[in-house]
Every structure is written in structure tokens, then in C-alpha cells.
Structure 1
Amino acid sequence: MAVAVMCGEWIVTASGKSLTALHTRENREAFGFDCSQVEQKPKDAGASDSNRRVGEKNSLDREEKERGTDVVLAVAASHSGRLLALTDDRKRLLLLSSHPTWNLISCRWVVRRCTALAFSPDEACVWAADKSGDVYSFSTTDTHTPGDLRLGHLSMLLALVVTADDRYVITADRDEKIRVSLKSAPHNIQSFCLAHTEFVSTLFVPPRHPDRLFSGSGDGTVKLWEYETGKRLQSCDLTELINQDETDERVCIKRLSSSPDGQHIAVLCERVPRLQLFEMKTGSEVTPTQCLTLPQSPLDTTFDPQGRLWVLLDDQHTPVLLYTHTSQRWERCDADQPDLKRVTEGLHTHSLPPPDARLSLHQLYKSSVDNTATYRQKKEERLQQRREPSASPQSNGAKRSRRRKQETGPSSPSNQ
């Protein structure tokens, strides 16, 4: 998985165990961060003793699986751009500060591997959703306290947002559900947004319309909701993007991002070398405006504070593209554009490893098993076995005669 987010004027990219922050407007020194250099979680002596009882080999296997591989799983930036949170495969939650210089504030451990992060509007806490369906909140001021369990699902969580008015926490899981919970009392559910037929992979609340919610799913659709009531306002099917390639691969919405004014929305589909742009003029619907054809499938997209669109690619020569909106169209910037050139040179110096294919969203599709044919075949075999004895009438007659004799017993002398 590769991630690109804006943290103020810094574009932050992460892939594998590495993170790089590059300033888009000034010639500032780049910031590189390696998760493998962060402190490790202390071993539990009791757990080690129990592992040794079942064998040293099994203990080492479990210990290696528990430790993880330092791969970054999720990244989120605060609204002011002063804080950045990331979580990795070793179950660490790292909090970094970008002002006045980049530095690591704290390292805390989560119970299970996280899948999504989100800051509260006041930046007092960061919310973390994990694979087991639980959501924890971590303080950004008291950085040594563990997280508080706030709510839970029965399925793996994939997306998490906190509304701008700080009233609701919205979560989405692998079982097609979007839940809207009260932030002050998360056990109280305000509504459900139910219409997707596959896992919900991304959520987004547009800045200009804070009472609306966008959701993207593995079913290839983007839906617009009035989340307080759970009412669906619009549904846009993006499967035609993949149909242009004449393939049967499913369309999976990977990321929804918006310009700072909330007018332009970019939709990224996994494994699709295109980027669909929408325009939101009212709070009730969006209109498709332009489909950008890219040299390859993008890794991630993000808008900067100036409303420019950055596209991250898995290409050593052209790691990033920049688009600007002029004359009602999105135009690709030339490679000599100063800001683009600065970021490109920084990514050449701090090259990121290729994304891990095992973190693909396509692995979240549930396999459908059609056992009707197998059932019918076995049923026919059972019926055939029942019909085979009836093929010899003499044998069946002999069996009925023997059965009759056993029921009546031996003949008495008076009957002979």
C-alpha cells in the first residue's frame, strides 16, 4: 500500500516501512522517516514461557507474526497540518509534529493492527480503527496514555471519519455497513447508511457541505448520503472505467479526495489507469466533469491547499504528477513547473519502495461458493445406489420372503 496526504504545505508519501515529507512551496529540507528505527515493544516474559512449552519453532513463528514487518498501514494529517499520525504492521501508533521542524512526539502500541486513522477537528485526539472492528481514541496532549476503546463492529473496519462539527464518528466495514455514531456516546447509533453491495473502502465528508457523506466501495459505486438520517441522495457507478479496458476485473474505489473548497472531488479506482473528477455545486448531487488518463494505475491522490491535484505513481522516473484546474478543465503541469520539479527531485533522492501487493483491496472481496452442482451430483449418486438393488426382482423377492419368515417365526406342527 502507498499513501499520499497533505500535511499543511508538505506532501507526505509512505510506502513499505518508509515515509517522506517534501515541502511543495519552499526549498525546505526533506524529512525521511524509517519505521524500523523506532523502539520495539518489550517482550512479555510470560508469553515467552508458554510459547516454549509448545516448542521452540512454533514459538518463533508466532513471535515473528506478532512482531510484524514495520510496513506502514495508515497515515492521517490533522486539519492544521501540524500533526501527523501513522500506524504500522508492528502495532505501533506514531505521532509526529511538522512545526517548527519534523520530530517524533510519541510511540504507543495498539491492540490490533489498524486500518484507518482520523484526527478530531480540535486535534485533541486521534481515532484509530483496527482489523477486529474496534475503534480507539488516543490523546495528542497526554501522549503517554493508552488508547480508550470507544466503539466496535462485528467486521473488519476499513474507513473512519470524524465530522467537522465534532458530533459524529462515522465508520465503514467489510460487511457493506456505514455506521454513524455519536462521538460523545459512541454506543448510541444515530443512523446506518445501507446500500452498498460490497465492502466500503473509503469515506469522505465534503468541507462545503459538512452534513453530507461520500462513500466508495468494492461494488464500483460512489454514493452521496445525508448521514444523519441515513438517506441516500445519489449513486454513481464507475464500472464503465474498467469496461473501456475490455476486462472483467471488478472496479474497486480506493480513495476519495477533495479540493479545499469541496467543489472538486477525485475518485481513484484500484488498478485503473484513470482518475474520475466530479464537481459538487449543490449538496444534493455531484456531476462528472472529466476523466484523466494516466500513464499507469495511480497509487494515491491528494489536493494541496491551493487546490492543485497531486497524483502518486509507482515510477522511478516520474513518481508524481501535478494537475491544475483552469478554464473549466484539469491540465497536467509541465515537468519543469517549480513545485513539481522540487517534489520530483525529492522523491528521486528519497525513493520509496514499491507497495506491498498483499495489501491490495481486491483481497477483501468475499469468495462466493456455488455448491449446487456438487449437491445435485451427490444426490444423483445416492438415488442411483437406491435404484441398483431394485434391478434384480428375484433378489428383492427373496429378501421379502426372508423378512416375512423372521417376523412370523418357524411354522408350528399343526400347520404342516
Structure 2
Amino acid sequence: MSFVVGCGENVIIASGSIIANYEHSTGKMNTEFFKWESVEEKNIVQTTGEEEDEEKKPQKKAVDDIVVLCISTSGSPNNLLAIGTNEKLLHILKISDDGLTAKHIIAGIVPKAPTSCVFDKENAHVIIGDRAGEVHKMEIATGKVVEIAGAISMILDVGLSTDGKHLILADRDEKIRILRYPESFVIENICLGHTEYVKSIAFQSNGTIWSGGGDGHLRHWNMTTVKPLNSKQIFEEKNPLAKVLTTPDEKHVIVTVENSAKFCIVNTETYDVSVDSVSDEPIIDIFSSPKYLLILTKTALVLYDPNNYKKEVALDGDLAKSVAETRPALGNLFKNVTYNNQEEYEKRKSEKFAKVEEKRALKRKAAQ
């Protein structure tokens, strides 16, 4: 997995175990930005304090090499990074004022490998989705992790509405769940319409959601009525959509496609689509900062403005090797619907649903 995010004036690339920072002032890539050797065991919180016995405490996973599985940024002025790894840890890093280094603050243990994470509106917590369909919340001040929601399918993306009052979950079962936040045991709505997994979601302050995934369609939803406002197959080829994000001014939605160098810019009012590319290399990840689109390809970081600004920074050394060898952490997300596999899948789904309903009932009872 490889990612690019912007945090204030910083451009962060995470790939494998490497976390690097592109320095605007020097035009150089700093691969010494953060080293995992600096993590102190005392900063890894081992428990929430709510487990009934020792056996139920989540355990840090021993790994030969740390791999970053998801990343999120708080933006300015906090300049925090949340990084989920294959150790089943969520790490919080603080970027220095000069942007040259990052300091490890705290880490919490999550039960399963994380797939997506996002800061809440106050930057006091990080919401984490995982492979098992569970959603946890980590308090940054203490590192304590508690379960707040669950689904019966793998969580592929998590997000918060722009007002911070709703938690939105995208999953492998073609659904988008809208939960009240922080009372996330309350499901307010479910968006139905995708025919394959939902990989990525984005938001506008007008209470609408954009989504895309395995069916190749970009969909626009009213979050209150859950009615689709628009549905559009972005490319003639029905390729899965990889990333959906809104620009800071909310005038456009940026969409990337799996294993493609192309990306789309969609007007949020007219739904007009323009297709662009910055190289012949497939896009690995993309992030919309106030100044540029930050585009990570297999060979370079590209700072791009549709108004004809383009700066390409070649990757080199271990970072170049790691990005070039990027593979999806989740593998093939399409379901194998042969009879035996489907029967097994439905059985697991039913068992998971029963567990989720049991937990939800307990939370409702506790809230009364």
C-alpha cells in the first residue's frame, strides 16, 4: 500500500514501512522524516480498561516489516497524522513546526487490521474501520480504543460529514451506512444502489455524499433522503473506481480508477466530466490540497493544478522501490459467487449479523 496526503504545508508519502515528506523549500524528498525505531513501548496503550478478562485484550501483532495500511491527517493547525499498520496499531504522529520531522505521540491497539481511518471534527479522536466489519474510536489523549459500530461486511472506507454529526461507512456489501455520531449505535439511513463493493466516499457541506467502487459508477446521494441525485459511469470501460474526493472549495469531485493513469474532474453542480492524466504511469493515490492535486504514481509525486501548473518530483532509492512494488492490501474485493463459496459467505454473514445485533442491543440498553 502507498499513500499521499497533505497536512498544512507538508506533503506526506507513506509506502510499506517508509514515511517521507516532500519539502517545498528545498524541492527534495526527505525519507528521514519519521523512523519506526523512534516508537517507544511506553507510548503503546495495551488496553482500553474495559475488557472483562486478559484473554479479551487486543494484542499487538508481531511482524517482520511494518506496513502502512491506512493514513489520515488532521490538517492545520494540529498537524497530526493517524497511521494504521499491519501490527494492528493506530499510531498518532505530530509534525514539527518546521515540517522536517514527525514525533510519535501515542498508539492504540485495534482488534483487526485497519482498512481506513479519519479524524473527528475536533481532532480529539480517530475513527477506524477494519477487515472484520467493526468500527472503533481511539481517544488521542489516552490511546484508548473502544468499539462504536459494526457491520456484517468488511469496512472499506470511513468518513465524517462536514458538520461532524454523522459517521458514514462504506463496505464490501455494496452499502453506505449513515450513523449518528457520536451515538453511532443509531443507524439513520442506508444508501442502496451500488451493485459492487463501495471503495471510497466523499462529502459536501450541503449534506450530500459521493461514492464509487467496484461497479464503476460515481453516485451522488442526499444524506437525509438517501435518494440518488446522480449516477454516472465515469469511463466507457466499466473499471472499478479507486478514490473519490472533493476539492477544498467543493466545486469539483476528483475520481481515480484502478490501475489507470487517468483521473476525472467532475463539476459538483453540472456533473460535467473532464478526463485528465499527468503521466503514462498508473495513479497509486491522490489527495486534494488547497493549492494542488497531489498525485502519486509508480515513479513520481506530481503537484498538479488544472490551470496548467505541474511539477513532477521523481522518486528514488528505497521509496521508489517500495512505491513501484505497491500491491493492494485487501486483494480482490469482488465476490466469488460460485455455489459453495456463496453458501459459506452467507453463513459467515448471518453469524456476523447476529453478533452485531447483540452488541447493538447492549449499547442501546446502556444508553437508556
Q: TM-score, length-normalised on structure 2?
A: 0.79
Q: Residue by residue, what CA displacement relative to the aligned partner does 1:17-75 show, whole Å, maximum 9, x if unpaired?
A: 111122335679935234466457899xxxxxx9xxxxxxxxxxxx9986464110000
- Residue 97 of structure 2 is aligned with which of 96, 100, 122? 100
Match of 2:222 in 1: 226
Contact kept, 8 Å, 2:209 with 2:223, in 1: the verdict is yes
The SS at the match of 1:22 is strand
Contact kept, 8 Å, 2:22 with 2:28, in 1: the verdict is yes
Aligned-partner residue type, residue 32 of structure 1: F
Q: Residue by residue, what CA displacement relative to the aligned partner does 1:267-309 show, whole Å, maximum 9, x if unpaired?
A: 11111121111122x3xx5221333363111111112222x22
Contact kept, 8 Å, 1:199 with 1:217, in 2: the verdict is yes
Match of 1:211 in 2: 207
The SS at the match of 2:323 is coil
**Greater CA radius of gyration, 1 or 2?**
1
Contact kept, 8 Å, 1:134 with 1:153, in 2: the verdict is yes
C-alpha distance in 1 between matches for 2:241 and 2:153? 19
Match of 1:363 in 2: 332
Match of 1:348 in 2: 316
Aligned-partner residue type, residue 217 of structure 1: G
Q: Residue by residue, what CA displacement relative to the aligned partner does 1:115-144 show, whole Å, maximum 9, x if unpaired?
A: 00000111111111111111111112234x
Match of 1:286 in 2: 271
**Structure 1 stretches lacking a partner, 5+ long:** 44-49, 51-62, 244-249, 334-339, 372-416
Aligned counterparts, 1:100-179, within 5 A: 100=97, 102-143=102-143, 146-179=144-177
Aligned-partner residue type, residue 149 of structure 1: E
1:356 is displaced (CA, Å) by 5.4
Bigger fraction of residues in strand: 2
Match of 1:380 in 2: none
Match of 1:19 in 2: 19
The SS at the match of 1:155 is coil
1:93 is displaced (CA, Å) by 0.9
The SS at the match of 1:85 is strand
- Residue 288 of structure 2 is aligned with which of 303, 312, 327? 303
The SS at the match of 1:364 is coil
Contact kept, 8 Å, 1:8 with 1:305, in 2: the verdict is no
Match of 2:245 in 1: 257
Cα distance 1:370–1:294, how it changes in 2: closer, same or farther (>3 A)? farther
Aligned-partner residue type, residue 279 of structure 1: N
Cα distance 1:34–1:214, how it changes in 2: closer, same or farther (>3 A)? same
Bigger fraction of residues in helix: 1
Q: TM-score, length-normalised on structure 1?
A: 0.70
Contact kept, 8 Å, 1:70 with 1:90, in 2: the verdict is yes
2:80 corresponds to 1:83: yes
The SS at the match of 2:332 is helix
The SS at the match of 2:259 is coil
The SS at the match of 1:205 is strand
Aligned counterparts, 1:371-410, within 5 A: none
Match of 1:398 in 2: none
- Residue 184 of structure 1 is aligned with which of 157, 166, 182? 182
Match of 1:324 in 2: 305
**Structure 2 stretches lacking a partner, 5+ long:** 47-54, 341-368
| RMSD (CA atoms) | 2.8
2:257 corresponds to 1:273: no
Contact kept, 8 Å, 1:321 with 1:332, in 2: the verdict is no
C-alpha distance in 2 between matches for 1:33 and 1:194? 41
Aligned-partner residue type, residue 153 of structure 1: A
C-alpha distance in 1 between matches for 2:280 and 2:251? 26
Q: Residue by residue, what CA displacement relative to the aligned partner does 1:291-348 show, whole Å, maximum 9, x if unpaired?
A: 3363111111112222x22211111xxx12232232xxxx352xxxxxx46xx26x43
Match of 1:395 in 2: none
Contact kept, 8 Å, 2:211 with 2:219, in 1: the verdict is yes
Cα distance 1:196–1:362, how it changes in 2: closer, same or farther (>3 A)? farther
The SS at the match of 2:316 is helix
Aligned-partner residue type, residue 218 of structure 2: V
Cα distance 1:356–1:133, how it changes in 2: closer, same or farther (>3 A)? farther
Contact kept, 8 Å, 1:254 with 1:361, in 2: the verdict is no
C-alpha distance in 1 between matches for 2:140 and 2:333? 32
Contact kept, 8 Å, 1:16 with 1:70, in 2: the verdict is yes
Q: What percentage of aligned pairs have identical amino acids?
A: 25
Contact kept, 8 Å, 2:215 with 2:240, in 1: the verdict is yes
Q: What number of residue pairs does the alignment pair up? A: 321
Match of 2:343 in 1: none
